[in-house]
Amino acid sequence: MRALLTNRSSCGGLMRPTIGVILVNFNNEHYTLPCLESLTQVNYPNLDTIVVDNGSKPESVQAIRDAYPDVTLIDLGENRGFTGGNNAGIRRALDNGDDYIILLNNDTTVAPDMFDILIDVMEKDPSIGVTGPTIYYHDHPDMIWSIAGAIDWKHGRSSMIGLNETDNGQFGHSPREADFITGCALMVRREVWEKVGLLDDDFFIYYEETEWCVRAGRAGYKICYVPQAKMWHKISIEARAASPWAYYYMTRNRFLFLNKTRASIQSWLNVWFEYVRTYLSWTLKPKWQDRRALRPVMVRAIGDYYTGKLGETFKR
């Protein structure tokens, strides 16, 4: 049994803002428990840790309760996806009066000073509404998974900055603005959630944080990555590309993202051209034969977008 700091306390006589830390669990307590363990090692004094369970088996929920009885655990009883699970946690953190709220993937571990660094940056500049750390691969601790995200509006495409690069200090030491921060570790000032709203449940998973960051940016808030803040993500380099489930939501939600953000005609035309070209390449070129099984997934994803089938529409 372990305890996490969930109360307001002072550091050096000064009250530090309270951070609501939101984790979503779905039958993967083997990730959630080590993540919670890393939170017990952080330097930051004021954490309000909230685990939201998306309808896991009873033993998964009980394992978390037994190990961390002081952590708030919200059992939704059903799978509401990344968006619905995090939104439930955000609402609780807002009700608790938390000053900042971070969405934190449960398959991560954080550096002891990550929260201090992010909060110090945001406290010094009230115009910064959103920050994120450098995220490394857990199995390759010096290789970057994401430092932030960029949107190519011409081609209707988003990408991770720093993806698969070894960290040699190329991103500097000071905060810099970006188009979006990945939902893997999205630190947000309370007022931004209140002004911009929560994640859009139409997405269920993928592209939701990108669309949300577009809303935050258009509302006048700076979105910055903070290179010196660090954490590690237990994801394989090939994980997303190999999964039909992930490919479906990435494809459907790319179209949904263009719609929600009122992207230009040029974006739409380029995205359509890309998918037609990809479909033909997978069909005609032998080197892409291992991708041919994804062709019906692509067709279904695009069809579901155009017929309004949103939220959770593709099961693992």
| pLDDT tens-digit map of 17-43 | 999 999 999 999 999 999 999 999 999
- The CATH number of the domain where 21 resides is what? 3.90.550.60
Mean pLDDT on 89-115: 98
Based on the fold, state whether residues 105 and 251 are members of the same structural domain: no
User: In one letter, which amino acid is 232?
Assistant: W
| Spatial contact of 95 and 198, defined as CB atoms under 8 Å apart | no
Instruction: Answer whether residue 4 is part of any domain.
Output: no
Query: What is the count of structural domains for the chain?
Result: 2
Based on the fold, state whether residues 183 and 260 are members of the same structural domain: no
Based on the fold, state whether residues 229 and 257 are members of the same structural domain: no
Give per-residue pLDDT as tens, 224-278: 999 999 999 999 876 656 689 999 999 999 999 999 999 999 999 999 999 999 9
Q: What are phi and psi of 35, to 5 degrees?
A: -65, -45
Whole-prediction pTM: 0.94
Based on the fold, state whether residues 87 and 112 are members of the same structural domain: yes
Based on the fold, state whether residues 41 and 164 are members of the same structural domain: yes
Closest C-alpha among 148, 178, 184, 179 to residue 165: 148
Based on the fold, state whether residues 71 and 116 are members of the same structural domain: yes
Rama region for 197: left / alpha / beta (φ>0; ψ in -120 to 50; rest): left
- pLDDT class for 7, splitting at 50, 70, 90? very low
Q: Which residue range forms the structural domain that includes residue 284?
A: 244-306
Domain boundary among 183, 201, 233: 233
Residue 104 makes CB contacts below 8 A (sequence gap 6+) with: 21, 22, 23, 35, 110, 184, 185
Give per-residue pLDDT as tens, 180-224: 999 999 999 999 999 999 999 999 999 999 999 999 999 999 999
DSSP 120-160: HHHHH-TTEEEEEEEEEESSSTTBEEESEEEEETTTTEEEE
Domain boundary among 233, 267, 295: 233
